[in-house]
Amino acid sequence: MSKSNKTFSFELFPPKTDKGFENLKKTVGILNQKSPEFFSVTYGAGGSTQDTTFKTVDWLREEGIETAPHLSCIGSSSNEILDILNRYRNQGIKRIVALRGDLPSGAGLGSLGDLNYANELVELMRADFGDEFIIEVAAYPEFHPQATSAQDDLSNFKRKVISGANSAITQYFYSADAYFAFVDNCEKSGITIPIVPGIMPITNYTQLARFSDACGAEIPRWIRKRLESYGDDIDSIKAFGKEVVTAMCQRLLDNNVPGLHFYTMNQSAPTLAIWDDLNL
Ligand code: FAD
């Protein structure tokens, strides 16, 4: 299968410990052999992971690897955001994943910062940096958990596109139909930027279920039931997870998605297992 016209990318989170960082280096060493378009690095809202995100980005850049730092605006001032963007520009970074982010529960309104939504961050970036960055934004085929309605969520996604986003990466999902329906609605409302599916390998049911409930990603009942039935049998969870996610990726690729973005969770094996089965 030719990957020439598709964008494949891998997402990392900034490790907190030296051991985690060593593991990240190994993961990147392995996944980089697949020649992805870029590695992205997440960023905690309000700058909570700023030091570790910078450390991870700095290392990737030293290795000459195309890097797309995530940048969330909630809880930060515009000047803080601009300082970070200047730093990235000076490092030769070309691509940013621009997000609102989430404040920790219990944070007061006073901690919101200057920008309330991701479209305002995209606007700020375009106003101050013109076309210097390729701007990726988040998209939610199963809708953002705080969305007031499906239509409002689509309109809000469109705001980011109008503000200057080049491309979008979706929240993960396990229903290709949800993605196709979302893209269809986007096209009907005049959104033409590439919308790259975010792919989350399945390696652990309890964690995935908790995380999915929080971020509004649905695990279809038949998948939940099968995963539940394996209990603590991690090998069976991984084997079934690989089968399900690979089949979904294949269907997405057969239907001309613009690429795939893997949420690696800093592990190479689950992503590679899917990648190799897809013969990418
Ligand atoms: P927005 O696009 O601003 O949307 C947030 C909510 O507000 C939606 O319900 C939307 O409908 C509504 N809304 C948007 N604009 C407006 C407006 N102008 N007026 C009224 N309502 C509006 N989180 C992190 O903390 N760090 C990360 O590195 C990170 N990386 C991510 C990467 C991807 C690919 C994805 C899909 C998510 C990521 N997240 C990350 C999670 C993300 O920060 C949360 O989902 C957050 O709640 C929303 O961010 P957003 O950029 O999508 O927000």
Residues 6+ apart with CB under 8 A from 110: none
Predicted confidence at residue 167, as pLDDT, reads 98
> Residue 107's pLDDT band (boundaries 50, 70, 90)?
low
Task: Tell me the sheet residues that pair with 68.
Answer: 40
Query: Does the annotation count 243 as an active-site position?
Result: no
Predicted confidence at residue 79, as pLDDT, reads 96
Mean pLDDT (the chain, rounded):
95
Half-sphere CA count of 215, side-chain side, radius 13 A:
19
Residue 100 CA, ligand 1 centroid: distance in Å = 5
Predicted confidence at residue 74, as pLDDT, reads 94
- Range in 2-11, 89-98, 148-157, 174-183 with the lowest mean pLDDT: 2-11
Residues 6+ apart with CB under 8 A from 267: 27, 203
The whole-number average pLDDT for the span 249-278 is 97
pLDDT tens by residue, 7-55: 999 999 999 999 999 999 999 999 999 999 999 999 998 888 999 999 9
Hey, whose CA ends up nearest to atom 20 of ligand 1? 156
Confirm if 278 and 40 have CB atoms less than 8 A apart: no
Q: Which of 49, 144, 170 to mutate to test the pocket of ligand 1 (most atoms within 8 A of CB)?
A: 144
Hey, whose CA ends up nearest to atom 44 of ligand 1? 101
Report field, pTM of the whole predicted structure over 0.95: yes
- Residue whose token pair is 């990737």: 60
Q: Calculate the alpha carbon distances from 46 to 82, 99, 114, 135, 197 in Å.
A: 14, 11, 11, 20, 26
Predicted confidence at residue 46, as pLDDT, reads 82
> Residue 1's pLDDT band (boundaries 50, 70, 90)?
very low
- 72 close to ligand 1 (CB < 6 Angstrom): yes
Residue 163 CA, ligand 1 centroid: distance in Å = 15
For the chain, domains (ranges, CATH) are: 7-277 (3.20.20.220)
Residue 115 CA, ligand 1 centroid: distance in Å = 12
CA 73 to chain CA centroid, nearest Å: 16
Q: Calculate the alpha carbon distances from 62 to 37, 58, 186 in Å.
A: 17, 6, 38
Predicted confidence at residue 190, as pLDDT, reads 98
Confirm if 97 and 118 have CB atoms less than 8 A apart: no
Confirm if 79 and 51 have CB atoms less than 8 A apart: no
Residue 164 and residue 130: Cα distance in Å, rounded?
Answer: 10
Per-residue tokens: 258: 């613009």
Confirm if 219 and 212 have CB atoms less than 8 A apart: yes
Hey, whose CA ends up nearest to atom 9 of ligand 1? 147
